[in-house]
Structure 1
């Protein structure tokens, strides 16, 4: 009798974790930082691999072009990397790269910092500086954009990949952003490579505000603007016409006063929130907006009002945070109901910013700023701050906030102060310019990661000061008798 056939034995499968750990570490050296972080989330075994010291020592050297600290016992290389990364973004160093740019006497009203480009406005002029070009001593690193005929009122930068329809047949090059400006000359201009690419006209008065992002999710992106005439206008960036003649998509009526501020909702990119000078808030659904007069009134899907003069507002998911008068109010955009009074800053607010993902907001007033935790004030009729940021001279009119730091400044304060976003502890204080004199303050400010730019006016000239902390090595020293660790210590051979 024949023996029954036996099924072939299937050899065990080999997985990546069966490889020798040294081999896997060597392979991981060819991965990017993002790839390594993704690898750490796949399994405990690969997480140990992704946290290997040799991998993070390589990231340290590649990121900052410095040798890894010799004495780092007690901390893994990943912790040392993350500590320096956080410290740089909190400006906890004394030796950033410093560049002062002198300009004419007109004050700088607006500042933008993106990639290797620096933009600032003076009256009707926009000045554009290529930072890399300056360092390489090229002849065309500085441009003056002079097509506007009146004062610049707002400046925005939008990613180039969101407005590619404007560049059909053009060589894009290395520039990653398009500059958009509004002016009291009733116009909006799009700039690229130092020249005006489009000019949008339609407002019956000065254009006061531009949307912080572009509306829409497809290739037909829309720019929103608010004017002194009380209208909100939508401009198609995919329209034909060499100078934007057919770009006006819709005009939204409803506000009775000038439209000062606008913000796009976080949960739906077709929703636009606007606030006018009389503190009336309106929300518009622009998904089907057209220029038809018969339906244009139906675009408004919600309205409310807040007390006091508008200062700023910011959207996060379906919530809108409105800073006006002496308070910050959270409004649910789905119901237009006021959810909570997140902050009360007496007597009046001068500035406002938020990191809603961390439930933190910051308000600037006269002589101080305040840090608030939204969660603590949900059930409170009288909100209390978690920290007071004192030491300012005059009003705190300039305020920036991100996941690492708070930066505060004002027109009567010669210093720009930097604070830890979680605790409100001061981490550094910077002069507005290296040639600071008595009485000078900060007119404008822009922050991008571990870089900051400030503008200061003097009697017969202005100074734009650029600082880059990316290659800094000399940390701010700890103050004596500190109860908590206020400043980060770098690890040097002397420790």
Structure 2
């Protein structure tokens, strides 16, 4: 063949969204035949031994994994891992426990304009040492100081439009601080744009409104909710608070979608209209305790983690219901489901007391697979799952026991064999450990 001749487009050239769209036109038998005839390399599973201590926070960003342990951050490149070059880069600039980690697009800030093409994300961390640090290319680029106590949380998105984006932080001092990402100077002394007062307790969670990027929602430990309009925050005062309400129970997690705030507390998930600050529905009710919450706004689906199981809910079905009911029960865990990931294709659940994480189909809640996070499928009572992160077809987990720890990275992008169970649920998220030497499925059904 002429080497200069362009090759035809193959199915392997398509991205995940395109493949998923094409699959909607196929029946189950066609999808199974397609999966069994594709000749890809085997899924990649690589382990890295670590200290017998927990990793607290974890983020998975394309080829980068970020995990926090106390005051330090471990950074790792996935291609190096699967190329058998096992290495961790340690970032030690914080001198107290890291409380929050976020990733923001480089295109939303002018901080690194001199570095050429801006692609990818930069990392932002907050700490109990009262500081906020911005990281890029393995080093600290900025340090913001201003809180009089530990910084407890960061906004999930940057506020504002255009090039003048603002980062929001919440502290145990009860204040919300706004930081300009266009300030000069590495120490960031001139970055503090405003300090917003009003909360009486430490701030636990913050989220940017979906219908207006200048609105910030914050919730304190006492479950008091405040909405701030940062366009009115030119002075240090509380007058830019444009909404106030209170929720029952301890705050667990919040998500904003369009003009609604979905707030998960210890017993329920409620939706609040940010324009009126009135509760419009109870999306989920959970007893005796809710530990985690995620949602897919585009599909009106939410997932909550409880003790021993997670539950899948359809917001549309519960709009007029006095007592909301889940559409699926995702059971099989031995303890509290603290780790929860949700995207349009799958749900991944895990709990500290289990060495397995479970994968479920997002639309139906059907169980797709159980992935072991330890050396063997069985572990003693001292083995703990400390963190989990999922991005597309990649799953990273961290476990530790009394004498060692394990960081396990899986990449199912090129998985060649699907799981086919008795109920004919087909999933790409299979585990090579579930097959014997003759390619027979040995996983539990």
TM class by shorter chain equals 0.7 to 0.9
Separation in 2 of the partners of 1:275 and 1:384? Answer: 26
Q: Name the structure 2 match of 1:109.
A: 56
Q: Name the structure 2 match of 1:147.
A: 93
Q: Does the CA contact (< 8 Å) of 1:60 and 1:81 recur in 2?
A: no
Q: Does the CA contact (< 8 Å) of 1:477 and 1:489 recur in 2?
A: no
Let me know the Cα RMSD of the aligned residues: 2.9
Q: Secondary structure at the match of 1:261?
A: strand
Q: Name the structure 1 match of 2:419.
A: 476
Pair 1:225-2:169 in alignment: yes
Pair 1:169-2:114 in alignment: yes
Q: Name the structure 1 match of 2:148.
A: 204
Separation in 2 of the partners of 1:183 and 1:489? Answer: 38
What does the per-residue CA deviation read over 1:318-348, in whole Å, with 9 as the maximum and x for residues that have no partner?
1110000210000001111100011101011
Q: Name the structure 1 match of 2:105.
A: 159
Q: Does the CA contact (< 8 Å) of 2:106 and 2:112 recur in 1?
A: no
Q: Does the CA contact (< 8 Å) of 1:406 and 1:419 recur in 2?
A: yes
Q: Secondary structure at the match of 1:368?
A: strand
Structure 1 or 2: larger strand share?
Answer: 2
- Measured after TM superposition, the shift of residue 288 of structure 1 is 3.2
Q: Does the CA contact (< 8 Å) of 1:313 and 1:321 recur in 2?
A: yes
Query: CA 1:75/1:368 → structure 2, altered by over 3 Å: closer, same or farther?
Result: closer
Q: Name the structure 2 match of 1:125.
A: 72
Separation in 2 of the partners of 1:83 and 1:202? Answer: 57
- Measured after TM superposition, the shift of residue 203 of structure 1 is 0.7
- Measured after TM superposition, the shift of residue 115 of structure 1 is 1.3
Over alpha carbons, which structure has the higher Rg? 1
Separation in 2 of the partners of 1:378 and 1:83? Answer: 39
Pair 1:486-2:413 in alignment: no
- Measured after TM superposition, the shift of residue 83 of structure 1 is 7.7
Q: Does the CA contact (< 8 Å) of 1:223 and 1:236 recur in 2?
A: yes
Pair 1:385-2:331 in alignment: no
Separation in 1 of the partners of 2:309 and 2:85? Answer: 43
Separation in 2 of the partners of 1:489 and 1:259? Answer: 40
Q: Name the structure 2 match of 1:216.
A: 160
Separation in 1 of the partners of 2:45 and 2:171? Answer: 38
Query: CA 1:356/1:171 → structure 2, altered by over 3 Å: closer, same or farther?
Result: closer
Q: Does the CA contact (< 8 Å) of 1:94 and 1:475 recur in 2?
A: no
Q: Name the structure 1 match of 2:298.
A: 357
- Measured after TM superposition, the shift of residue 204 of structure 1 is 0.9
- Measured after TM superposition, the shift of residue 60 of structure 1 is 1.1
- Measured after TM superposition, the shift of residue 313 of structure 1 is 0.6
Pair 1:346-2:287 in alignment: yes
Separation in 2 of the partners of 1:284 and 1:488? Answer: 43
Separation in 1 of the partners of 2:32 and 2:113? Answer: 42
Q: Does the CA contact (< 8 Å) of 1:225 and 1:232 recur in 2?
A: yes
Give 1:245-284 correspondences, 5 Å limit.
245-284=189-228
Pair 1:309-2:250 in alignment: yes
Structure 1 or 2: larger helix share?
Answer: 1
- Measured after TM superposition, the shift of residue 476 of structure 1 is 1.5
Q: TM-score, normalised by structure 1?
A: 0.78
Separation in 1 of the partners of 2:205 and 2:311? Answer: 22
Give 1:49-88 correspondences, 5 Å limit.
58-63=9-14
Q: Count residues in correspondence.
A: 412
What does the per-residue CA deviation read over 1:237-292, in whole Å, with 9 as the maximum and x for residues that have no partner?
001222111000011111111101111111111111111000011111112322x2
Q: Name the structure 2 match of 1:405.
A: 346
- Measured after TM superposition, the shift of residue 122 of structure 1 is 0.8
Q: Secondary structure at the match of 1:357?
A: helix
Q: Does the CA contact (< 8 Å) of 1:106 and 1:123 recur in 2?
A: no
Q: Does the CA contact (< 8 Å) of 2:412 and 2:428 recur in 1?
A: no
Q: Does the CA contact (< 8 Å) of 1:116 and 1:132 recur in 2?
A: yes
Task: Indicate which of 438, 441, 451 corresponds to 2:380.
Answer: 438
Separation in 2 of the partners of 1:245 and 1:171? Answer: 25
- Measured after TM superposition, the shift of residue 138 of structure 1 is 6.5
Separation in 2 of the partners of 1:426 and 1:406? Answer: 9
Q: Does the CA contact (< 8 Å) of 1:94 and 1:476 recur in 2?
A: no
Query: CA 1:82/1:177 → structure 2, altered by over 3 Å: closer, same or farther?
Result: farther
Query: CA 1:451/1:245 → structure 2, altered by over 3 Å: closer, same or farther?
Result: same
Separation in 2 of the partners of 1:454 and 1:94? Answer: 22
Query: CA 1:304/1:96 → structure 2, altered by over 3 Å: closer, same or farther?
Result: same
Q: Secondary structure at the match of 1:298?
A: coil
Task: Indicate which of 374, 380, 383 corresponds to 2:315.
Answer: 374
Separation in 2 of the partners of 1:160 and 1:489? Answer: 32
